[in-house]
Chain A
Amino acid sequence: MRFQLNFRRMAWVSLALLAVAPPQARAADEWPTRDITFYVPYAPGGSTDPISRKYSELLEKQLKVKVIVENKPGASATIGTGAVIRAQPDGYTIGLGSTSSLAYQPLEMKGLVWKSASDYQSIVKLSDLPAILAVPADARWKTFEEFVAEAKEKPRKLKVSVSGLRSANDINIQQLNKLSGARIVTVPFTGGGGESTLAALGGRVDGTCGYAPGMKGQIDAGKLRVLAVFQQGKYDLIPDAKPIGETPWKETFPVGYYVIAPNGLPKPVLDKLMAASKTIVESDEFKSFLKANGYTWDPKLGDDMKKELEAYDGKFRAILKFLDDDK
């Protein structure tokens, strides 16, 4: 009897607690009132972690709450990305997406909860990370044109190491093959990109396609020579590298990093998040961080970012078709 009484009292107390809790609408106006979680769908280390942490650090200052960065790696970044897209659209879960996880993986993997850019909320594009093509310092090619000329002359003889088949660097080389008619062989070295650079240093391949931050040390030491950078304009980190945009084979696939949220964010939350993000990407602190780390600044907010990702969908379909035909 007594037990029952206590139980009843507990039920009343919990009901009272529920009544005190603020209703949903007011919560959206006051957002953010607690910590925000920022999912990074990659493991710590590598190029994705620093940029996520920089954005989160600046977001913390803007919104005056803690932004907790949580790494949720796996399955080509689709696990962490899926976790963001499936989260409650309350503004307390946002995350990093990349060209690969947002636009490419839906074409390759079945059963993902996102098929196109309409399946999640685009917030802001943080940066592009372009791939570079480098050869060992003692190689006979001094310029990008010489390299491509030889690749056309002797199809399937020149080998370039990439960090995994169908990685962005592989796709860039294949795109070059498609547009120029050359046939450069890509050799996958999976192991965080380090082994791919090592293969070029050891002379096992003719060149390597990868990202500048991981190769900068070797470039500065004069062990690698950069022939080209797969982006439209000059690359601040390596100004001598020839931009592919200045060659006849213009189309490139930089790795873009984006901030996404689940669809259905309340309007006040979305507006506040966009405004904060705009301030961040336009801040000098963020820009100098990007420059120092080899990222290219190319901010796009909301719908502009969505349009870019939709365009990538078409570009990826075209290159995949070329690869299927060219087996």
Chain B
Amino acid sequence: MNSLQGLLYGLSIAATPSNLLAAFVGAFAGTAIGVLPGLGPVAGVALILPLTFSLDPTAGLIMMAGIFYGSMYGGSTTAILLNIPGESASVVTAIDGYQLAKKGRAGATLTIVAVGSFVGGTLAVIGVMMFSSLLAKVAILFGPAEFFALTAGGLIVMSRISGGTLASALLPMTLGLMLGTIGQEAVTGETRFTFGLPDLAEGVSLVPVVVGLYGFAELMLLVEDRAHAANRPESVKMRDLLPTRTEWKRAVPSWLRGTFLGFLFGLVPGPAATLASFASYRLEKAASKHGSEIGSGAIEGVAGPEAANNSAATASLVPLLALGIPFTPIAALMISAMLVQGIQPGPLLITQHPEIFWGLIASAYIGNVMLLALNIPMVGVWVSLLRIPHYLFIPLLLVLSVIGTYSVRNSIFDVWVLLAAGIVGYAFNKMKFQLAPLVVGLILGPNIEKHFREALFLSQGDPWIYVESPIAVGVWLLVAAILIAGFIARRRAAFADAMAQESSL
């Protein structure tokens, strides 16, 4: 069976009424869960997992995939409208998305995101379909040393992701790293910095920190300052719901860059979707013609990351389908769903259960189309939410973020973390420290440490392991190149500035 035949076969499976219904229910529930600040794709899929046990395996997996795509998309809605990222992959979306919304372009931005997610998802599915067995070999090449290069290099490159001075980024980033060391560490299982609190043994989870830092802090600003709330657009005209020609034009290259980058990230283990969105934002800053506008409301800063995180999410199906090895928590849940149904994921899946393999691929197409169809008409509804008076709106969102935060681990402690993160976020906002580096530090810190130490275990203490493989060396060289290029660009800008000042004198 070649890919085209396979796809047709898959479509014939996915297009049965019951499977279409599964895809629809999944995409719809996913969007609803994603809009809830704190409940992201992982929680969404976990919630639906028991339900899929009673479905037929293909329908169950299709529904899980639908939830996954839906919640990825839903998370960016609140990021754009309210500066509250629904999950960690939409943190960077909030930076420019919220600025755009303040300028009255919320509708247009949501449309760009919906179409961008569609583009990223669909192109990535094509990639998965064509090259999955080939790409699976890439994943095998990555060991601790390579991951260390990727994560530690990533931290260096992404530390200044949201601009500002070096000190304004370094302090929050290190705080993020520090928070990441709390709890039981992964390698030898030692418990660190828990002050005897059993809740802290699990570590500080990402969800309440992200929702607190951004969302809660933003809500506090609203409570304190009514003029701030008055900035919101009073009414949104139909015309403003659609992007302008220029916006479309500017978005296309960003989508493509984001899709490509996201696909690469999806192939290797780790929090692929989140990292892909951060990396894409960084890339847009460097590669886009309007790079300098990013941070103050440029469509590229939203289009790239959103295409990237959907593409990464889809590409992470490669190791799942071709190796049967879960690289992401969501993939682990999908494997669990297969195992319960008596299906063995792995290299033989495509021959033993073609209906699952191709059905899942086809459902990714269908899911993406469905999401687009579901969400474009919803843009108007979402935007009109902004007109709810804020005495009603703020309590409502606080309740939503508590539901979202609590339910991830059934823990009131996490709600305390949300509150604390909110206060820190508020203070950092006031004092002009950057928030995004804190999230980067918290995500990457535990990964960096794990790979650093696992590499030494593997080499039995020989530090050369970090630079032995061509992949690791390649990653480090790329990091160096990005840093040097950034340095030169800044020098040039400073030089041009000085020239301009001189000529104006």
Contact = CB atoms under 8 A, between A and B. Distances in A.
Q: Do A and B bind each other?
A: yes
Interface of A: 43-46, 49-50, 53, 69-76, 78-79, 82, 108-109, 111, 156, 159, 164-166, 185, 187-192, 194-195, 197-199, 201-202, 204-205, 213-214, 216-218, 220-221, 223, 292-293
B188 interface: yes
A13 B142 CA distance: 68
Contacts of A49: 49, 336
A326 B346 CA distance: 38
Given A164-B189, A197-B325, 6 more contacts: A70-B410, A190-B186, A191-B450, A198-B140, A204-B458, A293-B339
A187 B335 contact: no
Nearest to A199: B143
A299 B327 CA distance: 34
A188 B346 contact: no
B325 A198 contact: yes
A223 B347 contact: yes
Interface of B: 46, 49-50, 53, 139-144, 184, 186-189, 191, 196, 198, 201-202, 269, 323-327, 329, 332-333, 335-336, 339-340, 342, 344-349, 409-410, 450, 454, 457-458, 460
A161 B365 CA distance: 38
Given A190-B186, A197-B325, A198-B140, A79 B348 contact: no
Residue from A82, A165, A189 having most chain B Cβ neighbours under 10 A: A189
B143 A165 contact: no
A264 B141 CA distance: 54
A217 B53 contact: no
B188 A165 contact: yes
Given A50-B339, A188-B454, A217-B324, A202 B141 contact: yes
A202 B186 contact: no
Contacts, number: 134
A74 B409 contact: yes
A164 B190 CA distance: 12
B285 to A, nearest CB: 31
19 contacts: A45-B333, A69-B50, A73-B409, A74-B202, A74-B409, A75-B191, A78-B198, A79-B198, A82-B198, A188-B454, A191-B186, A198-B142, A198-B269, A205-B458, A214-B324, A217-B349, A218-B323, A218-B324, A220-B344
A273 to B, nearest CB: 22
B326 A192 contact: yes
Nearest to B334: A45
Contacts of A191: 186, 269, 450
Contacts of B332: 45-46, 192, 194
Contacts of B53: 53
A202 B268 CA distance: 13
A221 B347 contact: yes
A218 B460 CA distance: 27
A204 B339 CA distance: 27
Given A69-B50, A201-B140, A202-B141, A75 B198 contact: yes
A185 B460 contact: yes
- The 3 residue pairs across chains A and B that have the minimum distance between CB atoms: A217-B346, A217-B324, A74-B202
